[in-house]
Amino acid sequence: MPIITKLEAQKNNKDRLSVFVDNEFFCGITLDHAIKYNIVTGKELTEAELALLLSESGENDLYLKALGYILKSPRTEREITIYLYKKDASSETVGKIIERLKTMNYINDEAYAKMFTEQKSGKLGIGAIRSKLTFRGIHMEIIDRSLDEVENQTQDELAQAVAEKYMRNKDRDPKTLQKLYRHLASKGFDFELCSRVVEEQKKDVTEDMMNEYRDKWEELRQAKLEMKKRKKELKDLKKQILESGE
């Protein structure tokens, strides 16, 4: 029969005990429950008593909450760990629930990274995908494997598609092209690729378009000069009125 081999006060909550069965962490219980069920080192437990302890520990409730959290949207091991700690679970309980979820394949960081990469590879650059997976706690070797599978989808083609979408119905003036560069960089494309794509967009600007931009710029410059002249005239007029009234 299973035997309670150790009882240990939990670091974060001295009113709870960690119960070890056959030298492995089993669950955490309150001191009141330990007294109520006569939980002492060396005691043999039946399967029914083990189930009762697990129920009293609240671990099953936490497990079900974590499961519900996963069912809303796939989660990584790190995300579930943070979620459980926010529920005031002990480190031992967190570890045990994580193992249960991994055994049932409810947590699978490899599958998560592959799914995420496939979904985002048509929207984000490699750098952005890597950054987002790293933030979610995925190990670097897993990220590398998931990214290897989308290398055939060239970043050049994706960056060009993103650029075309961004520039739709926009003028290809210097200010807009600068914004395009920042937009591409925010999607995780590297410096060299961003620069190359922006240069390609510049090539699409015809001489007629350039002349049109120059005309618009000259109109704006003239309008500003006229406004400056008008302000000076008004200022001089105001001065004359004030002086005449003295």
Taking a C-beta distance cutoff of 8 angstroms, is the pair 183, 166 a contact? yes
Q: Give pTM, 2 decimals.
A: 0.52
Interval 114-129: pLDDT, tens? 889 888 876 777 888 8
User: What integer pLDDT is reported at residue 205 of this predicted model?
Assistant: 57
What's the Cα-to-Cα distance from 32 to each of 8, 72, 135, rounded to whole Å? 14, 35, 40
Q: How far apart are CA 60 and CA 54, in angstroms?
A: 7
Least confident range of 37-51, 147-161, 183-197: 147-161
* Phi and psi angles of residue 167, each rounded to the nearest 5 degrees, phi first: -85, -5
Interval 31-85: pLDDT, tens? 888 888 888 898 888 888 887 877 777 777 788 889 899 989 999 999 999 999 8
